[in-house]
């Protein structure tokens, strides 16, 4: 099959600060909240170093970013555009999230596996 017409080139620009480009995150993060994601992270996740503090907030941001299509730390900046900060509290900067991710080591995941096997 072949397209018989050339595609039109369009450009959309939205500069209204009240727009939310990823409104689908509302039900996703509501489900995470109802499921107790933050409490589970606070109870079970202990990354090392000073960047490991507030893991419950940072993991929530990482989940939201991945659900919105972010595939790198820099892409996590999508959580700070438009009215996203009006919908979600505790949004962290991409650099903070990247530092947090670097706190996880092989030993961290090994301790999780040991803990999971013992319960």
Map tokens 């727009």 to a residue. Answer: 19
Helix 55-67, helix 37-44: angle, nearest 10: 130
Q: What is the largest CA-CA distance in the chain?
A: 62
Mean pLDDT by 10 residues, the chain (119 residues): 56 68 85 92 83 89 93 93 84 93 79 67
d(CA 7, CA 5): 6
Q: What CA–CA distances, in Å, run from 14 to 10, 17, 19?
A: 13, 8, 8
Give the number of other CB atoms < 10 A from CB of residue 52.
17
pTM over 0.85, yes/no: no
């Amino acid at each position: 099959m072949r397209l018989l017409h050339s595609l039109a080139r369009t450009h959309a620009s939205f500069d209204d600060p009240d727009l939310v480009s990823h409104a689908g995150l509302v039900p996703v993060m509501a489900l995470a909240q109802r499921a107790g994601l933050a409490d589970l992270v606070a109870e079970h996740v202990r990354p090392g170093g000073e960047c490991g503090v507030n893991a419950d907030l940072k993991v929530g941001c990482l989940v939201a970013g991945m659900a919105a299509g972010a595939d790198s730390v820099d892409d996590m900046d999508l959580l700070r555009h438009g009215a996203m900060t009006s919908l979600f509290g505790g949004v962290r900067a991409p650099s903070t999230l990247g530092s947090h991710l670097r706190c996880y080591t092989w030993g961290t995941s090994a301790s999780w596996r040991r803990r999971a096997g013992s319960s």
